[in-house]
Structure 1
């Protein structure tokens, strides 16, 4: 069970470059890594995150974090203006929104397992 995460937290990079992805193997994740990931959602430090998993179980895990610890809600459709503003938005990804419209954070989850990227 593996995840590929691209996270923009606290503020957008000054160099205007998307951060490098982080790969997590959930079958061997340490307690400290799990707490850090949980806290990232629970403390609301995410501006944007793109998540891909190698299996449906991995996708269920990240959705559970978004909906549970992150108190996110699934958004059916984003306005075009918002899609253009967001760095990690991609058509076809599920969109979870944390917070209210003016200070919202977005988590984008590829709904299809992507075992080939691991």
Structure 2
């Protein structure tokens, strides 16, 4: 997936504002994260931010996010609220339909 929204879009902030979300993890595939981190370190660039990935294809926008869920919250409920927050945030900002929103829980507690 490639980012299609500008960094100023603040989609990560919308996800972090959801009750029960305490952390965002890189949503990029592991190999991409390792390669990007290595390149960033070698070139002395600041780390790349890939917390929420948004890609565009024929079907529309696809969004992927990995979250940490705070102890005491039901992960399924938090995932639904994250999904709804992303839909609300993108509604009116995107020029395409939203084809998919993938919310992955990477940690609970």
TM-score of the aligned structures, taking structure 1 as reference length: 0.29
| Higher helix residue share | 2
Which has the higher Rg, Structure 1 or Structure 2?
2
